[in-house]
Chains A and B, each alone.
Chain A
Amino acid sequence: MIKFVKRPEPSKAWTLATPILAVIITMILGGLLFAAMGKDPVAAIRTIFWDPLFNAQFASYSRPQLLVKAAPLILIAIGLSLGFKAGIWNIGAEGQYIIGAITGASVGLALYPLDAWWIFPLMVIAGALGGFLWAMIPALLKTKFNTNEILVSLMLVYVAEQILASAALGFLRNPEGNGFPGSRNMSQIPAMSNPELITGTGAHWGVVAALASVVGAYVLINKHMLGFQIRLTGESPRAARFAGVKDKLLVVFCLGSAGALAGLAGLFEVTGPAGQISIDFGAGYGFTAIIVAFLGRLHPVGILLAGLLLALTFIGGELAQFMLGLPSSAIQVFQGMFLMILLAMDIVVNYRVIIVKKEAA
């Protein structure tokens, strides 16, 4: 009989080992899934995880894409991880991402055709502010009325998607776009564009911001009082209250910073890779970032690596779709499976597994 005994504190070795083990197990199960769909499992796994980086034919295109896709995932996941650590569940990052893109784009497009150096920085601020304010809705409802932030933040994703549709079809539509939905292409307007900073790397301002957020979160969590309070609240809310942690302030801070970072991610995306506000602008980064946060063990450096890995599954998934006809939803299943396996493996982090002989009971 197998018995689980709670560890006094989580095992450090398993904390590091389980994400890697989870990747391997997911690859095996994913291979079985692809085999069941009639695809060669080895070729599929290689196309997803190897070819985007090392295949001579595709790597020149795919490698820069890695940073492009990883930047929003990392930015959003860093924000989410602060809240998750403290037991504050913001699952509406997708909405904050969309709203950040809309507010940022609105500011820029309102100033069109003005050409000045300060327009892009102003848009960045507006994007962050938009995401922040959108996240303040669940935060303030939580602190004032004790409303469940999980449900409110999620409902606001659907509201944000409708605002996005209304922006693309109405108030932000390109007046010179012959009636097609979608805004002006901001990546082609010098004052508003978020260009590739170093040619061939895919690095745009969002990548810079993502790296800065990793460093910032690391310092906050490890060196700052607020970071200590976040960790304490997550581990023991009661102890945190006795220690004088203002839990309402923490809710506002965690949701607010996550919203601002998600808003930033949206702004960098809309001015760079996406280029314009369109109906299908929301690409699910806000939800995938939840997987990134958990895979990275809510640790900034872990999130950096996890963001790159999930970006790889997106790019590899597209490649597999193109090369092997693997449907894009297969990658979604793969990512979902990944999160489940990762969560299941937490048991060896928090518990010791002991095999007891039957008669001992």
Chain B
Amino acid sequence: MDFGGINPVILLASLMVASTPILLAALGEMVVEKSGVLNLGVEGMMIFGAVCGFIAAVETQSPTLGFIAAAAGGALLSMLFGLLTQIFLTTQVPAGLALTLLGTGLASLLGQNYQGMSPPRMPDMNIPLLENIPVIGPVIFQHDAIVYLSLIMVVAIWAVLKFTRVGLILRAVGENHTAAHALGYKVKAVRFAAIGFGGAMAGLGGAYISLVRVPQWTDGITAGIGWIALAIVVFASWRAGRVLIGAYLFGGITVLQLNLQAAGAKVPVELLSMSPFLATILVLVVISARRHGASNAPAMLGRIFHSS
């Protein structure tokens, strides 16, 4: 079953691998935004997580420890953003940009001695029985643990936001921080926790790029995926299920254009390389053109909370 040198089963399986970093980072950012905070530093936290994970995995020869270090690194960096926006009451847009600039610099500084090394291989975790189903088995059930983790997170985040008290408090803080504060919820603590969670998820996503997808360390390895993750949150109108769709859509475009490049399609390479970004713009336009598209945004998104 080959179409112009492209095998659809391998294509779909690599789609899941390509989508996982975007999915993890976008899910994290969605939780942050649900609490009313806009953190534009996703790209910086991702690349910092990517380098932390890479170094830890190379030094310990354990991919698992690599991913743990990546999550910790991403969360740690995000705390700087928390400190700026929650304690020092800085405007969130420039604070997020600063986080990206700092994260990119730190990653390139830490990673300079690790260029060209190979990380330990992340073992596949095939699901018994299910992996043997023709087509679906190789596409969905023959991946590493992080792919499954990202899918579990989609369901977990959806369930927590919808059914639990924690989710309710998070949404309350994001919809009306003054009211939440009056009810006795610790607005800043909730937001700090959300920012840290977002950082950890972005870090995991970054490490998935440097440990599994590429797998190598090079400067600027995340190449704008963090920004696409931010756009996907808007596309998904802050719903976990739609984040999954968005992430897989963009993973699909990325994989398809890479395959077309490899297959030597008669389309300029540059046009193929820019296609994920063009598609992101197109999707943003379509979403924002529909009137109710943006109305699902958390009401306090980007607002500073200061209790006097």
Residues of A within 8 A of B (CB): 4-6, 89, 91, 137, 141, 145-148, 150-152, 154-156, 158-159, 162-163, 165-166, 170, 287, 290-291, 294, 327, 329-337, 339-340, 343-347, 350-351
Contact = CB atoms under 8 A, between A and B. Distances in A.
Given A333-B109, A346-B90, A159 B308 contact: no
Contacts of B274: 158-159, 162-163
A89 B284 contact: no
What 6 pairs between A and B have smallest CB-CB spacing?
A: A336-B102, A332-B105, A329-B108, A333-B105, A336-B101, A166-B270
Interface string B235-275: 00000000000000000000000000000000010110110
Interface string B70-98: 00000000001001100011110111011
Contacts of A340: 80, 84, 95, 98-99, 102
Given A151-B284, A155-B277, A158-B224, A287 B101 contact: yes
Contacts of B278: 155, 159
Contacts of A347: 88-90
A356 to B, nearest CB: 12
B32 interface: no
Given A333-B106, A343-B84, 14 more contacts: A141-B285, A151-B227, A158-B277, A162-B273, A165-B270, A170-B268, A290-B94, A294-B94, A327-B108, A329-B108, A337-B102, A339-B98, A340-B98, A340-B102
A343 B308 contact: no
B280 interface: yes
B interface, how many residues as a size bin? 35 or more
Interface of B: 40, 80, 83-84, 88-91, 93-95, 97-99, 101-106, 108-109, 112, 219, 223-224, 227-228, 230-231, 234, 268, 270-271, 273-274, 277-278, 280-281, 284-285, 288-289, 294, 306, 308
B108 A156 contact: no
Contact of A291 (B93, B101, B109): B101
Contacts of A351: 89
Contacts of A331: 105
Is chain A's binding surface mostly helix, strand, loop or mixed? helix
B281 A156 contact: yes
B207 to A, nearest CB: 19
A138 B225 CA distance: 19
A148 B233 CA distance: 12
Given A339-B94, A344-B90, A151 B280 contact: yes
Contacts of A333: 102, 105-106, 109
A110 B34 CA distance: 52
A170 B105 CA distance: 31
A329 B280 contact: no
A345 B106 CA distance: 22
Nearest to B93: A89
A145 B277 contact: no
14 contacts: A5-B308, A141-B285, A148-B288, A151-B234, A156-B277, A165-B270, A166-B271, A287-B101, A329-B105, A331-B105, A334-B105, A337-B102, A343-B84, A344-B88
